[in-house]
Structure 1
Amino acid sequence: MTTQADLGIDVDVRDAAAVAERRDDLLAAVRDHAGRIAYQLATLQGGDYGRETLSTPGGEWTVKHEAGELEFLLFSPNSGSDTYVISTKQPPEPDDLADALDDYAAFVAAWNDYVASLSGVLDGVSADFPEPATTDGVVAERDRVLDEIRDTCAVIAGEVYRYESDDYGTFTARVAGDRWELKYDEGAVSYLRIGGSGGLYLLSQYESPSAADVREYADRFRGFVEAYNEFVDGLEADLRRISV
């Protein structure tokens, strides 16, 4: 059996476990300490994700959090490669960690200075705001106009349904260059749409249009009713006209 002596090797092999153990102890302490900074940063920024970069004489430190938990702590020295002191990947090399920790106290001091710079930033900011105006009157007027349009469309839908004898159908007309489409379901109004599939729903089973849209199209609705009456005039069936 060949031994170290036979090979002429008389060097002790150092045990790296002690170095790794010391590194892990240091990283655990940094993770706990920097984790408190990450939590404070999340509280300050108010978001689920965030980061802050702080300058020190030795370089720059970037702390990133996710939901208040430390995600990584990065040291970018003035010269040399970046070192992820804390990350979700493999731990740093002992030499790189030692260089970073030489500057870690400066990073904490930079953080404290950053927080101190924000102290009093909201002093003198008034929280006495003017009362916001209510939209009750505008909404009431919009709904009043829409109710009139809906009642008129109900008559048109019922008459076209009676004439066509189909459970589902539409009445369409072109008014001032726009395509108006009234869709009915067994005589009840499903929607009144202007402008095709991507157009404005003046009436629908979902949300109401804005007051500005109602104002724009309410007067044009008269032309839609007139188009319906012209449609009736061209039929032999006795459909009921609507007065405008």
Structure 2
Amino acid sequence: MTGLDFDIADADAVAADRDAVVAAVREHAGRMAYALAKLEGGDYGSREFDTDDGEWTLKYEAGDLQYLRFSPRSGRETYVVSTKQPPEPAALAEAMGDYAAFVDAFNDHVRSLDGVLDDVSTDFPDAVSTEDVVAERDRIVGRIRDLCGRMAGELYRYEMDDYGTFAVRVDGTRWELKREESQVSYLRVGGSGGTYLLSQYGPPSAPDVREFAPDFPGFVAAYNDHVAELELDLERIDL
């Protein structure tokens, strides 16, 4: 036996027709996806559209069509357009028989929003300025920064290390001044997950300043006690 001499039907023509239909739907439904993304105000989303024969789901990402799925009233769903494999030709044909109804449902959805904003007033009240609050916050933080700068300079002069930390508890709460040479890196209250009253990234919030600034004199007093203790240590040396 030399082989099987049976003709095999050429599937290329059917596949080409299927691919042409899918490409046309991708372009057409892609415009609908872009319009839907603009309408709903987001780069990512999906919406279902009901027809007499089933439900269509249009999903978009970054304004582009991600997939178009048809779920008939009975039978298996078909991804008419997707990022994976193309649909089976017979399933595609069934779905395309309802495509016009899907487009009508999409258009009805868009038309249903006509005039929805007509009665929305744009006569808004004025927004109160934060200028005074920010100015007072910056004044207090500036004073804290000045004093911490002096502490950092004195600690650097005494310790002569490029990096250093002065930490102490004030009424049970940890305060930590971190310096690089004589410059302040940060002043943090409350440990590693605490609040930065001073940092390299930006000022603290006004509520944080309101909460912790009243205890800052206690931190300064603890620093002064630390320096006084250093002086006592030197006084105990008998030369």
Q: By the TM > 0.5 criterion, same fold?
A: yes
Structure 1 equivalent of residue 61 of structure 2: 66
Counterparts of 1:110-189 in structure 2, within 5 Å, are: 110-189=105-184
Give the number of the structure whose alpha-carbon radius of gyration is greater: 1
Equivalent-residue separation in structure 2 for 1:14 and 1:233 (angstroms): 99
Structure 2 equivalent of residue 42 of structure 1: 37
Equivalent-residue separation in structure 1 for 2:150 and 2:233 (angstroms): 14
| Matched-pair contact (CA < 8 Å) for 1:58–1:78 | yes
* TM-aligned CA deviation for residue 182 of structure 1: 1.7
The letter of the residue matching 1:121 is: V
Structure 1 equivalent of residue 205 of structure 2: 210
Percent of aligned positions that are identical: 64
Equivalent-residue separation in structure 2 for 1:95 and 1:207 (angstroms): 62
**2:28 pairs with 1:33:** yes
* TM-aligned CA deviation for residue 49 of structure 1: 2.5
The letter of the residue matching 1:50 is: G
- Give the CA RMSD over aligned residues: 2.7
Equivalent-residue separation in structure 1 for 2:16 and 2:201 (angstroms): 64
- What stretches of structure 1 of length at least 5 have no aligned partner? 240-244
**2:227 pairs with 1:232:** yes
Equivalent-residue separation in structure 2 for 1:71 and 1:125 (angstroms): 33
Change (3 A) 1:238 1:110: same
* TM-aligned CA deviation for residue 238 of structure 1: 10
SS in 2 for 1:234: helix
Equivalent-residue separation in structure 2 for 1:2 and 1:188 (angstroms): 91
Q: Which among 91, 95, 100 is matched to residue 105 of structure 1? A: 100
The letter of the residue matching 1:178 is: T
Q: Which among 184, 192, 201 is matched to residue 196 of structure 2? A: 201
* TM-aligned CA deviation for residue 122 of structure 1: 1.0
SS in 1 for 2:115: coil
* TM-aligned CA deviation for residue 128 of structure 1: 2.0
Change (3 A) 1:57 1:225: same
| Matched-pair contact (CA < 8 Å) for 1:182–1:191 | yes
Change (3 A) 1:3 1:180: closer
Structure 2 equivalent of residue 242 of structure 1: none
SS in 1 for 2:22: helix
* TM-aligned CA deviation for residue 180 of structure 1: 1.2
Mean alpha-carbon deviation: is it higher for 68-77 or for 136-145? 68-77
* TM-aligned CA deviation for residue 195 of structure 1: 1.6
SS in 2 for 1:236: helix
Change (3 A) 1:229 1:116: same
| Matched-pair contact (CA < 8 Å) for 1:163–1:237 | no
TM-score calculated relative to the size of structure 2: 0.85
Change (3 A) 1:163 1:238: farther
Mean alpha-carbon deviation: is it higher for 16-25 or for 115-124? 16-25
* TM-aligned CA deviation for residue 14 of structure 1: 5.4
Change (3 A) 1:91 1:157: closer
* TM-aligned CA deviation for residue 188 of structure 1: 2.8
Equivalent-residue separation in structure 2 for 1:69 and 1:167 (angstroms): 54
